[in-house]
Chain A
Amino acid sequence: MVGKDRGGILRVGLACPQGAGDFRRGFGGCMTELARTGLFDLHVELGAKMVPFAGYEMPVQYPMGVLKEHLHCRAQAGLFDVSHMGQVILRPKAGMDALVAGLEAMMPVAVAGLPEGRQRYGLFTTDSGGIIDDLMFANRGDHWFVVVNAGCKVGDIAHMRACLSDVAEVEEQTDRALIALQGPAAETAISGMIPAVMAMRFMDVITAHSVFGELWISRSGYTGEDGFEISVPNAGAVGLVKALLAHPAVAPIGLGARDSLRLEAGLCLYGHDMDTTVTPVEAGLTWAIQKARREGARAGGFPGAEVILPQLADGPARLRVGLRPDGRAPMREGVELFAAAEGGTAVGRVTSGGFGPSVEAPIAMGYVPSALSAAGTQLWGEVRGKRLPVTVATLPFRVSTYKR
C-alpha cells in the first residue's frame, strides 16, 4: 500500500487534499477558507491539481507532471501564476527622499541610487537581525513597486504601514494578477506582443501597454532562468495567459516544479530556508547587502544592524549550504545532519530538499556550522533512522542563465 504517507504532498485516496507538504507549513489547510486568483478557472480548465498554499487554492501541477514541467521550463518556457504574492505600491507622502530613507531604515539594502526602471532584491529584518521576508522592489519613477511573498503579505503590508506611515501611502494592488514567464524561450514568447522586452536586462522594469491593459514587466523570476514577471490587471489576466500559452514553447507550470526549479537555482524559500531566526549573513545573502550599508554615511541604521554588521565582519557561526546526497535517496526538509557516521549530536538540519530533475540527482540546502561549510565537506544525513553520506556543495546546483 501506498498508505503511510510521510507527510508529503499527497496521500493516496485521501478525500481532503493535503496540499503541498513543502509549501504547507503555517499556511492554509482543509478547514480554512481559501482564496482564489483570477486564473483559478483557467487552471482547472488546464487540468491542474489544486492545493492549499499560503491561503490560496493554487495549481501544484498540471497533467504534464512536476518532472516534465520542470524540464520544460529549463528547455523552453514555463508560465506560472504567482498572483497570490503581494503587489504593493509605495507613493511618497513627503517627498521621494523621505520614502527612500524610510525603506533603507527597514532593510540592510541600498535603496538610494537604484535608477528608475531598475529592480533590486530586498530583505525586511527584525531587531535581532532575523529575516521577516524577502522581496523585490522597483523604482518606477514617481513610486516604488514592491512584490512580497504570499505567506507573509499581510504582515509585510502592516509592517510597511507602521514603518512608513509618515512617508508613504502603502497601496496593496488587489486588482492585479502576477504572471511569471521563465525559461530560454520566454523572451521569444512575449516579444511578439511586447517588443520592448528584447531590450531589457536582468532586473530591468518597464511599463507596457497591451490589449490586456497596462503591464508592469520586470526581467526577473525565481527559477534561475532568464524570464519575466508580469503584473496585469485582473480583467486582462486570463487573456494574457491564454495568449502566452498559445505560443508552442510555453506550458503552464505548477508550484511543485517551481519549488524544484528554485532549489536547483539555490534560491531560498521563505519559511523554510529563511525566517526570523536566521540572519541574511547566515542565509548566504550577503550579496544583497550593498557596500553603502556596510560602511560610510549610510552604514547600519536598519533593524538588526548590531547583529548583521559584526557577522559580515567576522563571519557567522553557521551558514546555509548546498548539499548533495551521495546516494539516490532524497534528503528532505527536517533531515538532521551529523559530522560523523555514528554518534554525536546533530550539527545542522536540511531546510529544503528533494530531487533536482535537471541535476538528475537528489539535492538539498541546509544550515551547518561555518567550520563544516566548505564545499566537499563530508556530512551524514539521517533518513529513516539511517545515516547516509552527503557532501557540502557550492550553490547554485545549476548555473543560472539571467540576461545580464
Chain B
Amino acid sequence: MMKYTEDHEWLRVEGDLVVVGITEHAATQLGDVVFVELPEIETMVATGDEVVVIESVKAASDILAPIDGEIVAVNDALSDKPGMVNDDPTGEAWFFKLKVDDLSVLDDFMTEDEYNDLIG
C-alpha cells in the first residue's frame, strides 16, 4: 500500500525499507525530466533534507527526505534515463530506499484517497 506526502511523494514499504518516488501529478507538473542527481548510499538523512535534485525542461526542483533514515539504495538507472520519471513515476522511477527505525511513522502520511482529495 502506498502512502503519500503533501509534497507529492509516494512512500512504499518493501520489507524493512521505505521506497520513495514522486507522484504522477508531480511528474506531470514538473514536465519532461532531463536530469536527476541522486544521493550517495549510506547517507543518513533527516526529514526535510534535500536528497535528490530533479531538473525538468522548465526548472530545477528538490526532493526532500520525507522521514529520517539511511539511504541504502538509489535508482542509478535514472541518471541515464531521467525521462523514466515521466514515463513510470510510480513504478520504475523510484528514487531511493530508506532504512528507518520504525515503520509506524508511515501511519502519519496520507492514503491514496486523501492524496487524491488534496490534488483534487
A and B are interacting partners = yes
Q: List chain A positions with a Cβ less than 8 A from chain B.
A: 1-10, 12-13, 20-22, 60-61, 65-68, 70, 256, 260, 328-330, 332, 354-355, 357, 362, 384
Cα separation A147 to B29 with both chains bound (whole Å): 33
Cβ contacts A to B, 22 pairs, < 8 Å: A1-B62, A1-B63, A2-B7, A2-B8, A5-B60, A7-B59, A8-B56, A9-B58, A10-B29, A10-B58, A12-B25, A12-B29, A13-B6, A61-B31, A329-B37, A330-B34, A330-B55, A332-B59, A332-B60, A354-B57, A357-B57, A362-B34
Residues of A within 8 A of B64 (CB): 1, 3-4
What's the least CB distance linking B77 to chain A, in Å? 14
A10 to B26, CA, bound (A): 10
Residues of A within 8 A of B6 (CB): 1, 13
A370–B6 Cα gap in the complex (Å)? 48
Among B50, B61, B63, the residue within 8 A (CB) of A8 is B61
Contact B32 A66, beta carbon cutoff 8 Å: yes
Instruction: Check A6/B59 contact, CB under 8 A, given A66-B32, A330-B34.
Output: yes
Name A355's closest neighbour in chain B (CB-CB): B34
Q: How far is the CA of A160 from the CA of B22 in the complex (A)?
A: 51
A12-B29, A66-B31, A330-B34 as given contacts; A355 in contact with B55, CB under 8 Å: yes
Which residue on B lies nearest to A18, using beta carbons?
A: B59
Chain A proximity of B109: nearest CB distance (Å)? 11
Contact flag A20-B37 (CB < 8 Å), given A2-B22, A384-B53: no
| Size band of the interface chain B makes with A | 20 to 34
| A328 proximity list for chain B (CB < 8 A) | 34-35, 79, 82
B60 CB contacts on chain A under 8 angstroms: 5-6, 8, 330, 332
Say whether B59 contacts A10, CB under 8 Å.
yes
B54 in contact (CB, < 8 A) = yes
Q: Taking A10-B30, A21-B58, A355-B55 as contacts, is the C-beta distance between A3 and B7 under 8 angstroms? A: yes
CB of B105 closer than 8 Å to a CB of A: no
Report how far A260 CA is from B103 CA in the complex, Å: 44
With a CB–CB cut-off of 8 A, which chain B residues contact A68?
32
Q: What DSSP secondary structure best describes chain B's contact surface? A: mixed
Summed over the interface, the residue pairs from A and B with CB atoms below 8 Å come to a total of 110
Shortest 8 CB-CB distances between A and B: which pairs?
A: A8-B59, A1-B7, A9-B58, A67-B32, A355-B34, A3-B7, A6-B60, A66-B57
| Residues in B neighbouring A330, C-beta threshold 8 A | 34-35, 55, 60
A70: nearest chain-B partner, CB-CB: B57
- Which of B26, B54, B55, B119 has the most C-beta atoms of chain A within 10 angstroms of its own C-beta? B55
B 71-108 to A, binary, CB cutoff 8 A, 1 in contact else 0: 00000000100100010000000000000000000000
Contacting residues, chain B, for A7 (C-beta < 8 A): 59
B8 touches A355 (CB 8 A): no
B18 CB, min distance to chain A CBs, angstroms: 14
**Nearest opposing residue in chain A for B29, CB measure:** A12
Q: How far is the CA of A22 from the CA of B58 in the complex (A)?
A: 8
CB-CB under 8 A from B79, the residues of chain A are 328
**A70 proximity list for chain B (CB < 8 A):** 57
* Given A1-B9, A1-B64, A1-B66, A8:B58 Cβ within 8 A: yes
The verdict on A256 contacting B59 (CB below 8 Å), with A2-B8, A328-B35, A329-B37 known, is no
Instruction: Please name all residues of chain A whose beta carbon is closer than 8 Å to the beta carbon of B29 when the two chains form the complex.
Output: 2, 10, 12-13
In the bound complex, CA of A21 to CA of B57 (Å): 11
Minimal beta-carbon separation of A49 from chain B (angstroms): 9
Cross-chain contact A2 with B61 (CB below 8 angstroms): yes
Instruction: Report the Cα distance A60→B35, complex, angstroms.
Output: 20
Q: Are B7 and A65 in contact (CB under 8 A)?
A: no
B34 surroundings in chain A (CB, below 8 A): 67, 328, 330, 355, 362
Given B9, B61, B118, B119, which contacts A5 in the complex, CB threshold below 8 Å? B61
A362 touches B35 (CB 8 A): yes
Rounded to whole angstroms, the CA-CA distance of A13 and B32 in the bound complex is: 17
Query: Closest CB-CB distance, B39 to chain A, in whole Å?
Result: 13
* Complex contacts, A4 vs chain B, CB 8 Å: 50, 61-62, 64
Residues of A within 8 A of B7 (CB): 1-3, 12-13
